Amino acid sequence: MASSLLFEIGTEEIPSGFIAPALDFIHTWVSQKFSEIKVEHQGLDVFATPRRLTLKVRGIEETLPDTVEKKMGPPKRAAFDDQGNPTKAGLGFAGNAGVDISEVAIEQTPKGEYLCVTRTIPGKRATEVLPAILEELVARIPFSKTMKWSNPDVRFARPVHWMVALFGSQVLPVRFGNITAGNTTYGNRFMSDGALTVTDPDGYEELLEKHYVIPGVEKRKALIWDGISKNARELGAQVTDRDLLDEVVNLVEYPHVIVGSFNESFLELPKEVLVTVMKHHQRFFPLYANDDSGNLRSKFCAVSNIVPRDDALVRRGNERVLKARLDDAKYFFEEDLSVPIEEYADRLKDVIFHKDLGTSYEKVQRFTHSALYLAGLLAPDKKDKVREAALLSKADLNSLMVCELPELQGIMGREYALHQGHDPEVSRAIHEHYLPTSAEDDLPGDIIGDLVGIADRIDTICGCFGIGLIPTGTSDPYALRRQTIAIENILLAKGYRISLSNLIDQALSQLAARLKRDGSEVKADVQAFFKSRFVSILQGRGIPGDVIEAVMRDFDDPVDTCMRAEAIATVKSEPWFESICAASKRVENILKKTQAATEICADLFAQEEEKALYEGFKDMEQSFIGHADQGDYTAALKLLSGLKEPIDHFFDKVLVMAEDIPTRNNRIALLKSLVTVFDKIAQFSKISA
């Protein structure tokens, strides 16, 4: 007979961000564990609220399946003598396996005949197996931070107050520290009185919902979003900040939506200020005009953990707290505007960026030089604007608003610059140089933000490597991986053709007085770091691993490297491509054994096959180089198709390592010339066609 398993861990309020990873772990770990020990079931569900993490597994048989155990022993020749009598080795194996030597079987294996014992182990009762699994589970759930409490021998995200462990109607003897599982759970802290007895795992959700707890995360999400959307429609508005839902859903057990409002005069503040205060500080959902303008309405939706007796009372409380926050923001905004943004930039002299890398002011001066270097390459007509944007890019770090709301760095710099009459392009770049902040984030909108952002990041990367702050497998406090990928993604998306080697040199020249390591070593490490991150980018674009290896030898210009990789991936399946790769491999092996000649002498070609290869090569060489120099790598590669037959015939009929030295050197020179031209795109010998 099959029964359901229920395991609930009851706690004090767990931080919202801890819950989703914990549920993912519970689901994955239990699934794998049950698979390992052959616990069959009909479905596995996980639930969570701020006060509980719950596992429910349906349809577990009361007795687990029998298992067959096979134990291999020594070779037959070692287990029996010539007369067929068991040796000490054979008797010892039988004794250890718990059987008589007469019960030992002989099994034929690829290595010969070996002793073998096979036995069936009766399945244990589920109630014997499950408690140990659940005790291991609760101890293994990972959290970014854990704590101790009066239960001295264990740690968890928050203190554990109760556990429920039921298999059918039977309580399982599960312990965690000094907590012993039972069949008692609790409803909503404010709307339900006393303990609740769980008599059946399959009735768990219904029981909690009757006592104002919605245990299903997705069900709570739907209730919250439906409630907010309904209220927004009734007000002729819309709600768009669905990202906040993932946080709010794990702050409440029984969601109830309440609409509030604020004085329209606050709409004069930058929209991002209002949204940040509402979303990140109050967990309120802003309401927007029901059109494409993106304008805010002076309304918001809050999600309460209870159904209050009087919505108006809760509404007034939320409005009062929000008003206080917005009053502060308005004061900060007005005070900040009274100070020229240039003065804030100058105050960066008093802000330490890093004790070994100097002040934020020094950092700005350094990456301004790098930004101007990039502008000279990519946008000479924008140099003045790039200089202004770079020098002002970190000014708002000293502002009252950003000190109170750090999420607004860059945004406030943009607003202050605009209000004080700075060029709109410069003002936008002050904000956009921070973009992208994640893999999913938008890129800067124009080249000024691109160049300042790249310069800022390369200074941080080279500076950190220069003082030994190199990321490890578990530590990257300055987010150097993310910053490196951001640079490469900007270059790829915008098609900026630059040399990373020269960019690193430029940054290191500004950091020379701060470096604690040899500059050449720092450069080599930074280049390798960019290279490893770019491999990940190419993998994410679906480029095969062998193609990546082939193009990365000459990695310096990310755009060029990506174009070469994508061109090869496009033609890799063509029937002629295999001959090119095979020839490159053979030539590479030949060149390892002999010194390559430098010049080809057509008069020394003795066989028609080598003449045909030489003529075919000369016919396409200049066109190939021309296409490659223009970045049209697909067109260049397709020219190689004409060399398939000459290459195949050459290697079929021509002995490269001829006894005649001039003939041999001439043939090697021909092959070397081919590979030298091929290498303009990739190291074809690395490709598995």
What's the pTM value of the predicted model, to 2 decimals?
A: 0.82
Between the CA of residue 169 and those of 39, 127, 198, 505, what are the distances in Å? 19, 11, 8, 71
pLDDT tens digit sequence for 275-334? 999 999 999 999 999 998 889 999 999 999 999 999 999 999 999 999 999 999 999 999
Stretch among 14-28, 517-531, 654-668 having the lowest mean pLDDT = 654-668
Structure tokens at 541: 């674009």
3-class secondary structure for 484-526? Answer: HHHHHHHHHHHCCCCCHHHHHHHHHHHHHHHCCCCHHHHHHHH
Strand pairing partners for 286? 300
Average pLDDT of span 143-161: 92
11: enclosing H helix or E strand: strand 2-11
Task: Give pLDDT, residue 596.
Answer: 61
Residue 227: which of 298, 293, 301, 295 has the closest Cα? 301
Please give the single-letter amino acid code of residue 475: S
Residue 380: strand, helix, or coil: helix
Structure tokens at 404: 């109170």
Q: Classify domain 569-686 at the CATH class level.
A: mainly alpha
Pick the CATH number of 352-540 from 3.30.530, 1.10.3210, 2.60.40, 3.90.320: 1.10.3210
Please give the single-letter amino acid code of residue 75: P
Structure tokens at 195: 């303990």
Task: Give pLDDT, residue 185.
Answer: 97
**CB 552, CB 535: distance < 8 Å:** yes
273: enclosing H helix or E strand: helix 271-276
Confidence class of residue 541 from pLDDT cuts 50, 70 and 90?
Answer: very high
Residue 19: strand, helix, or coil: helix
Whether pLDDT at 621 is above 80: yes
**CB 331, CB 337: distance < 8 Å:** no
What stretches of 236-373 adopt beta strand conformation (E)? 237-238, 256-261, 285-289, 296-304, 352-354, 358-359
CA dihedral 103, 106, 107, 110 (to 10 degrees): 150
Q: What is the DSSP letter of 65?
A: P
pLDDT tens digit sequence for 558-577? 999 999 999 999 998 888 88
Confidence class of residue 188 from pLDDT cuts 50, 70 and 90?
Answer: very high
Residue 185: which of 221, 153, 148, 210 has the closest Cα? 210
Average pLDDT of span 145-156: 90
Residue 568: which of 504, 628, 652, 519 has the closest Cα? 628
Average pLDDT of span 65-89: 84
**CB 680, CB 623: distance < 8 Å:** no
* d(C-alpha 291, C-alpha 297), whole Å: 11
* d(C-alpha 597, C-alpha 319), whole Å: 84
Average pLDDT of span 464-478: 91
Higher pLDDT: 298 or 612? It is 298
Give the whole-number percent of the chain exceeding pLDDT 70.
99
Task: Give pLDDT, residue 567.
Answer: 94
Stretch among 213-222, 260-269, 606-615 having the lowest mean pLDDT = 606-615
- The domain spans of the chain are 2-64+125-210, 67-121, 217-337, 352-540, 569-686
Domains 352-540 and 569-686 share a fold: no
Structure tokens at 6: 């229920």
Give the whole-number percent of the chain exceeding pLDDT 90.
70
pLDDT tens digit sequence for 206-253? 999 999 999 999 999 999 999 999 999 999 999 999 999 999 999 999
Distance of CA 668 to the CA centre of its chain: 47
**CB 161, CB 12: distance < 8 Å:** yes
Residue 681: strand, helix, or coil: coil
The number of beta carbons lying within 10 Å of the beta carbon of residue 142 is: 12
**CB 444, CB 389: distance < 8 Å:** no
Average pLDDT of span 411-426: 97
Strand pairing partners for 236? none
